[in-house]
C-alpha cells in the first residue's frame, strides 16, 4: 500500500497546533512515510531551525517515520526571498517552500515570480492564478507547484493543475496542515488531486514520484 509523503506542514514553531513530535506521531498513525515540517519564517524566526532539527533527530532516531526539516518563507518582501532561502539551507532546512500568491490571502505580487527563479526553493505553495510564464520557469528550475488540500488555498487547484500539466511542471499534493484534523491519508489526498483535474497517472506522480525526487535532491 502506498504511504503518504506530505512536504508542507506547520507545528508550534509557527501557527500550527502541535509540537513536531505530536505531528510526527499523528502522521505515522495515518500511514505517512515522510513529512516535512515547514513552519512560516521571515528574518525574525529563521534562526530557530536548529531547535526544530533537534526535535526531528529524536523522532528519526527512534520512530519509523522520516521527518524532514523545512521552512515556508511567508509574506516577506519579494526582495528577501532568495536571501532567506539560502539562509534556511545554511541552517539545515532541507525543504524550502515559498508561500505563494494564494487567492485567500493578500500575498504581495511578484512572490510567485521570485520563488520560481530561486535555486534554493523546492516548492511554490498554493500559487493562486500563477502566470504561464512562471509555470515555465518553475519547470526549468525544478520548482514544484503545489496542489493544496487546505481550504481557501485550494480555490485555484484547477488552474494550477491545468497549467502545470500543459507545461509539464512538477506538481505535488500537500495538506499545509496546521491542526490534527488537517492531515490526510494517501487515499484522501488522491481524491484532492483527481478533484483538481489530474489524471490517475499524474496523481501518482504528484503524491509519490515528485516528492521523492525533491527529497532525494536535498539529501
- Is 134 a residue that touches Zn ion (CB under 5 A)? no
Q: How far is the CB of 142 from Zn ion (least distance, A)?
A: 20
Q: How far is the CB of 87 from Zn ion (least distance, A)?
A: 19
Q: How far is the CB of 122 from Zn ion (least distance, A)?
A: 13
Q: How far is the CB of 166 from Zn ion (least distance, A)?
A: 26
N residues, the chain:
219
What is the distance of C-alpha 81 from the center of its chain?
16
- Which of these segments, 12-20, 133-141, 190-198, 207-215, binds Zn ion (CB under 5 A)? 12-20
Is 44 in contact with 79 (CB distance < 8 Å)? no
What is the distance of C-alpha 45 from the center of its chain?
19
Q: How many angstroms separate the Cα of 117 from the Cα of each of 89, 137, 148, 165, 207?
A: 16, 7, 21, 19, 24
User: Looking only at residues 170 through 199 of this chain, which bind Zn ion when binding is defined by CB under 5 A?
Assistant: 176
Pick one of 72, 101, 134, 146: the residue that binds Zn ion (CB under 5 A). Answer: 72
Q: Identify which of residues 120 and 176 has a Cβ nearer to Zn ion in the complex.
A: 176
Round to whole Å and give the CA distance between 56 and 46: 16
Q: Identify which of residues 42 and 136 has a Cβ nearer to Zn ion in the complex.
A: 42
* Phi, psi values for residue 92, rounded to 5°: 110, 5
Count of residues touching Zn ion (by CB under 5 A): 3
Pick one of 15, 57, 58, 209: the residue that binds Zn ion (CB under 5 A). Answer: 15
Please give the sequence-ordered ranges of beta strands (E in DSSP) within the chain, or none if there are none.
4-9, 32-41, 66-73, 95-99, 123-125, 144-148, 171-174
- Which of these segments, 61-69, 71-79, 130-138, 195-203, binds Zn ion (CB under 5 A)? 71-79
What is the distance of C-alpha 161 from the center of its chain?
16
Q: Applying CB under 5 A, which residues contact Zn ion?
A: 15, 72, 176
Amino acid at each position: 500500500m502506498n504511504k503518504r509523503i506530505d512536504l508542507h506542514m506547520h507545528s508550534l514553531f509557527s501557527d500550527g497546533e502541535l509540537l513536531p513530535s505530536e505531528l510526527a506521531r499523528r502522521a505515522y498513525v495515518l500511514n505517512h512515510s515522510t513529512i516535512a515540517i515547514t513552519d512560516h519564517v521571515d528574518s525574525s524566526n529563521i534562526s530557530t531551525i536548529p531547535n526544530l532539527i533537534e526535535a526531528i533527530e529524536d523522532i528519526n532516531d527512534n520512530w519509523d517515520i522520516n521527518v524532514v526539516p523545512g521552512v515556508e518563507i511567508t509574506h516577506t518582501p519579494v526582495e528577501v526571498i532568495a536571501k532567506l532561502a539560502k539562509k534556511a539551507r545554511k541552517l539545515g532546512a532541507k525543504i524550502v517552500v515559498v508561500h505563494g500568491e494564494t487567492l485567500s490571502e493578500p500575498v504581495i505580487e511578484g512572490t510567485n515570480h521570485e520563488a520560481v527563479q530561486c535555486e534554493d526553493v523546492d516548492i511554490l505553495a498554493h500559487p493562486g492564478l500563477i502566470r504561464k510564464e512562471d509555470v515555465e520557469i518553475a519547470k526549468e528550475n525544478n520548482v514544484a507547484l503545489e496542489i493544496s488540500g487546505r481550504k481557501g488555498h485550494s480555490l485555484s487547484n484547477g488552474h494550477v493543475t491545468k497549467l502545470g500539466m500543459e507545461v509539464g511542471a512538477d506538481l505535488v499534493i500537500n495538506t499545509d496542515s496546521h491542526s490534527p484534523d488537517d492531515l490526510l491519508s494517501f487515499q484522501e489526498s488522491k481524491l484532492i488531486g483527481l478533484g483538481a483535474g489530474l489524471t490517475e497517472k499524474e496523481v501518482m506522480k504528484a503524491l509519490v514520484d515528485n516528492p521523492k525526487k525533491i527529497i532525494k535532491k536535498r539529501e
